[in-house]
């Protein structure tokens, strides 16, 4: 193809890094200045530019622009500077990007399937240029992070998630497909916004919604086969649980908000046990928030306890308590509870506030999945510290503004005794001459490796045991040195190595359960996982 179009093709463009020989062979002579920098030097230059922007959203827009211009350089930069760039391409900045997506929207990324396309979804999928899709991340934009209904502007989430599948899990960019299903929005601000990019109508629900989703899931399987992974992302609670239950038996589906969050948190708990002592069954857990994340985590903890102790699942649930907006979930409320909360209604008199619940139940672990910021008040945290030598406090709501308490608050209010992790990143905290490094309980630890494990083994269904396998693999990567700093997660710098171990553990479980179709099973799964991973280094063109 002509040199000019090569420079405009993000998959093949190398900018100034085309060698003299390549410039000669591909009609690029004179189209570029004479300098031929290495890819490393290009990364250095771009990092200098990015660091000059003061506003995170500007850094995000620069990164999106780079992705559209030079794909390999985008991933090289993201992989080499993962700790610095992750909060830009993902939470917390991606949340702001979704809120303003209509105003900053330049080039469409991914596929938009709206109610207008009902009856023609297969045709829409066939309009996408890549045929060999391995992972789809799909949202309907109804509950973006802790920011609510952002309608069609939720597309920032699938785009961001899939860039992490590639950067952290090594799935080829051409095998990733971001999709937004637009059934309208109930967000009045967006409906009145002249720059809103989606359908200007209130959300379709009930049968109309179910039919569109069913047509979508059927078309995906028809077009891409049995082994394409569909990750549901940022759906509202009721739909998230229903979709997972409905399609979990017929498709390879995974809900990151329910299952990914759960696997990451369980892994943090497994690692924390090395600091706290005892087994999971010896601890008492209290959640603030009983939506997708809260009940998903609770269920996975109960599953692991029941596996370790052979006690029935119902029995394992008894050490796990949840507080929602109406107070502690107890037996007397059972009639009025949504179905996914019912298993957590235990025998106890009604309790209205989180503080009372903490004092009554005396949990060793406090987990925030409420989506509401500053709800772990000083009284609550001090109460946790009064009956626990090392209170474990996980403030998981995103973005940073919705975090239940900050790292600094957790360490200060517990006199430096807390073990703390959050959903969005907080900087290290100096307290009385000691530096505490808060962990980030970020789903990006789990889903890229989990996805790679499912893809490389050709798995056709997700089983809960695969989530447990992912949690165990992540916890095993936490070193004694990490624990000494109070970190219950390994640093993100080695994330590709971590993802390869997670992928290997997940694939091993898939082969063991007879759900893997890629035969024969590779002997060394870690080495195989590493060999499957996409490298962002430039190719040489002949």
Enzyme catalytic residues: 90, 161
Determine contact, residues 311/301, Cβ cutoff 8 Å: no
Instruction: Answer yes or no: is 485 a known binding residue.
Output: no
Q: How would you list the strands of the sheet with 252-255, edge to edge?
A: 111-114, 176-182, 135-139, 229-232, 252-255
User: Hey, what are 522's tokens?
Assistant: 């590779």
Instruction: Answer yes or no: is 530 a known binding residue.
Output: no
**Are β-strands 176-182 and 252-255 bridged in parallel, bridged antiparallel, or unpaired?**
unpaired
Q: How far apart are CA 42 and CA 382, in angstroms?
A: 49
Determine contact, residues 404/374, Cβ cutoff 8 Å: yes
Instruction: Answer yes or no: is 234 a known binding residue.
Output: yes
CA distances from 252 to 59, 155, 245, 249 (A): 34, 21, 12, 8
DSSP count for the chain of H helices, then E strands: 24, 14
Instruction: Answer yes or no: is 442 a known binding residue.
Output: yes
**End-to-end Cα distance, the chain:** 13
**Neighbouring-strand partners of residue 287:** 322, 367
Q: How far apart are CA 181 and CA 118, in angstroms?
A: 11
Instruction: Answer yes or no: is 13 a known binding residue.
Output: no
User: Hey, what are 327's tokens?
Assistant: 């107070």
Residues 6+ away with beta carbon under 8 Å from 139: 154, 155, 157, 158, 179, 180, 181, 232, 233, 234, 235
DSSP state of 288: E
Instruction: Answer yes or no: is 398 a known binding residue.
Output: yes
Radius of gyration of the chain (CA): 24
DSSP per residue over 103-155, as a string? HH--S--SEEEEGGGTT-HHHHHHTSS-----EEEEE-SSS-TTS---GGGGG
| Residues of each annotated binding site for a divalent metal cation | 233-234, 257
| Residues of each annotated binding site for (S)-malate | 143, 398, 442
| Residues of each annotated binding site | 143, 233-234, 257, 398, 442
């Amino acid at each position: 193809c002509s040199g000019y179009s090569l420079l405009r093709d993000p998959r093949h463009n190398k900018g100034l890094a085309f060698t003299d020989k390549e410039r000669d062979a591909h009609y690029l002579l004179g189209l570029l200045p004479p300098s031929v920098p290495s890819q490393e030097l290009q990364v250095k230059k771009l990092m200098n530019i990015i660091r000059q922007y003061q506003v995170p959203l500007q850094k995000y827009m620069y990164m999106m622009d780079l992705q559209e211009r030079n794909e390999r350089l985008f991933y090289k930069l993201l992989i080499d500077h993962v700790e610095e760039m992750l909060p830009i391409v993902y939470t917390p900045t991606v949340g702001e990007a979704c809120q303003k997506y209509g105003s900053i929207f330049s080039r469409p990324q991914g596929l938009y399937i709206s109610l207008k396309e009902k009856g023609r979804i297969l045709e829409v999928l066939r309009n996408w240029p890549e045929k060999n899709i391995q992972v789809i991340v799909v949202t309907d934009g109804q509950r973006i992070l802790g920011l609510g209904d952002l309608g069609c502007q939720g597309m920032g989430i699938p785009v961001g998630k899939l860039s992490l599948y590639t950067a952290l899990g090594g799935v080829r960019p051409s095998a990733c497909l971001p999709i937004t299903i637009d059934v309208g929005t109930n967000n009045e601000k967006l409906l009145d916004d002249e720059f809103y990019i989606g359908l200007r109508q209130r959300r379709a629900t009930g049968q109309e919604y179910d039919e569109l989703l069913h047509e979508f899931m059927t078309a995906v399987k028809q077009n891409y086969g049995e082994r394409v992974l569909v990750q549901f992302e940022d759906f509202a609670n009721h739909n998230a649980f229903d979709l997972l239950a409905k399609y979990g038996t017929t498709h390879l589906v995974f809900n990151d908000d329910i299952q990914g969050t759960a696997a990451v948190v369980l892994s943090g708990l497994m690692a924390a046990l090395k600091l706290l002592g005892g087994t999971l069954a010896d601890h008492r857990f209290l959640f603030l928030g009983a939506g997708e994340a809260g009940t998903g985590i609770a269920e996975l903890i109960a599953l692991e306890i029941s596996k370790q102790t052979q006690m029935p699942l119902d029995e394992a649930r008894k050490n796990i308590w949840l507080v929602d907006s109406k107070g502690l979930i107890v037996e007397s409320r059972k009639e009025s509870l949504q179905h996914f909360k019912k298993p957590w209604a235990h025998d106890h008199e009604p309790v209205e506030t989180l503080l009372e619940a903490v004092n009554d139940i005396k949990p060793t672990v406090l987990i925030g999945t409420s989506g509401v910021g500053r709800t772990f008040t000083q009284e609550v945290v001090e109460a946790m510290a009064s009956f626990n030598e090392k209170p474990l406090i996980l403030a998981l709501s995103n973005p940073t503004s919705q975090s239940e308490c900050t790292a600094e608050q957790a360490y200060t209010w517990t006199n430096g005794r807390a073990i703390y992790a959050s959903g969005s990143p907080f900087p290290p905290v100096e307290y009385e001459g000691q530096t505490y490094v808060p962990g980030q309980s970020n789903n990006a630890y789990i889903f890229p490796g989990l996805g790679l494990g499912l893809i490389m083994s050709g798995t056709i269904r997700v089983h809960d045991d695969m989530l447990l396998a992912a949690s165990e693999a992540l916890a095993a990567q936490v070193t004694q040195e990490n624990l000494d700093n109070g970190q219950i997660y390994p640093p993100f710098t080695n994330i590709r190595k971590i993802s390869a171990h997670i992928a290997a553990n997940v694939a091993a479980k898939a082969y063991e359960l007879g759900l893997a179709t890629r035969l024969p099973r590779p002997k060394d799964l870690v080495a195989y996982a590493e060999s499957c991973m996409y490298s962002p280094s430039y190719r040489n063109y002949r």
